[in-house]
Amino acid sequence: MGDRLTAKRKGELLELSAHLGVEFKDLTLLHEALIHSSYANEAKEKNIVHNERLEFLGDAVLEIVVSDYLYRNRVKSSEGELTKLRASLVCEPTLADCAKEISLGDFIKLSHGEDINGGRERKSILSDAFEALIGAIYLDGGLECAGKFIKERLLSDIEKKQLFFDSKTSLQERVQGKGM
């Protein structure tokens, strides 16, 4: 990782970690989770690692934790209902809202251009950072720690978040309903 943690950045990360209720053994994982590719690309000579690999891992952890939670807590729901609910919980708008609730945008490192063009509020950047954060929590503290975080930050008010629904699933249902 070419981007060393300054005392200021370490302080910011410790503040975020305390706010999240997650104690990181390795703050560089949290730091990496908050590095947008635009920032890394802007400083190519420093060989900065961005958050896309952690996002990939976090997405998988999120899927398994949410699926397990729904399976155990929605025993009367069909597979189709569970799939639809899971899709509404792990979609970009929902994850971006979760990121906003914890002020994650304040901690993301962006390129200058991305920053001045509203990147800290962009749903895609926020949801990706939220997934990367989950990946970092998983690597640092394991599945139990990541699951606890997901349950507290995403699944605690599931009925409210259920309002978002997967437009692809909705479209498929309409098309199939019309015999297409």
Alpha-carbon distance 174 to 168, whole Å?
A: 10
d(CA 36, CA 51): 6
Catalytic residues: 59, 131
Torsion angle of C-alpha atoms 122, 46, 17, 131, degrees rounded to 10: 40
C-alpha angle 155-156-158 in degrees, rounded to nearest 5:
60
| b/e per residue 55-93 (b: at least 16 CB within 10 A) | bebbbebbeebbeebbeeeeeeeeeeeeebbbbbbbbee
Sign (positive or negative) of CA dihedral 108, 60, 44, 124: negative
Rounded to a whole number of angstroms, the CA Rg of the chain reads 18
Which residue carries 């599931």 as its tokens? 158
